[in-house]
Amino acid sequence: MKKLLVLTLVMALQLAAYGQESSANKNSKKGAEQVPASNPGGDPVLVGAGDIAVWGNLNGAQATARLLDKIPGTVFAVGDTAASRGRPEEFTYYYDKTWGRHKARTRPALGNHEYEYPNAGAYFDYFGAAAGDPKKGYYSYDLGTWHIIVLNSNCADVWGGCAAGSPQEQWLRKDLAEHPAACTLAYFHHPRFSSGKNHGSEPEMIPFWKALYDANVEVVLAGHEHNYERFAPQDPNGVADPVRGIREFVVGTGGKNHNYPFGPPIANSEARDSDTFGVLKLILHAKGYDWEFIPEAGKTFTDSGSGVCH
């Protein structure tokens, strides 16, 4: 009972703070809807991060939500959107008051914390049809000339797991075959490669990477580690492959915390930062892409570049 009263009080105080901020900057859902759908050049934009809102400290999620207020395009939320338990009240009081104003243009992926609530029910209730089939948690969509795939990397929770031959892996290969786009991008929560000390690289993602590599996919986005890391194009085993390799970005910088330091950089790691909240913006051209990590106000770390489709 005491814990419940404390949590309720914290929520009430944070709601009051949000009310003051909202009155000051008029950053409402109505304002978010005025953000254009693409960059001035006309090519679609995909922008976002993972590991976003957590009760007790919403400053980071507020900071990255303010970045989204000024950036056009489709928003990717690459897991752990509302921590620490993925409960309905965490979506209502934390995620919705920050990134929630961009809900209408968000395509989310499941993180491990969403499954702290039974069957990730609060996540599916909150995002609705945009989150895909609640029995699966994986889906795909098109963005301009690009095909975008969203996978469920919670292998112990998704039916059939993530192994080669699993229902999800078979669906992935089928979806790739049915959408032979010139450029393809996939995102999911757990990174195949990471220099982070808390979680590091996730070998359970190898079957996904093999399917994506076989189909000449360009980019993979992940979160889980609360930091930013960019890798050179590589194959599923971590061998550099500038011709057919997949470039991975770890973008667990949505605002949860900075308590995830790096160990020694692993092979093919090209850029790292563990002290900056921010979002990754990708402009998706017909034959390539530009990327830019945009930091929260007051921070200076950034990262940018371009790639071509296979």
Each residue of 22-80: pLDDT tens digit? Answer: 333 333 333 333 455 556 678 999 999 999 998 777 899 999 999 999 999 999 999 99
What topology does CATH give the domain 28-308? Answer: Purple Acid Phosphatase; chain A, domain 2 (3.60.21)
How far apart CA 253 and CA 80 sit, in angstroms, is 11
Distant-in-sequence, close-in-space partners of 30: CB < 8 Å, separation ≥ 6: none
Return the pLDDT at 40: 62
Return the pLDDT at 54: 85
Task: Give the pairing of strands 278-284 and 45-49.
Answer: antiparallel
Any bridge partners for residue 77, and if so which?
49, 108
Return the pLDDT at 167: 98
Distant-in-sequence, close-in-space partners of 130: CB < 8 Å, separation ≥ 6: 103, 106, 107, 108
The domain limits of the chain are: 28-308
Per-residue pLDDT tens for 283-292?
Answer: 999 999 999 9
Return the pLDDT at 69: 98
How far apart CA 285 and CA 307 sit, in angstroms, is 10
Q: How confident is the model at residue 187 (pLDDT cuts 50, 70, 90)?
A: very high
Name the more confident of 305 and 22: 305
Return the pLDDT at 258: 81
Return the pLDDT at 252: 96
Return the pLDDT at 32: 37
Report the chain's mean pLDDT, rounded to a whole number.
88
Mean of pLDDT values over 144-162 = 97
pTM of the shown model: 0.88
Mean of pLDDT values over 4-29 = 39
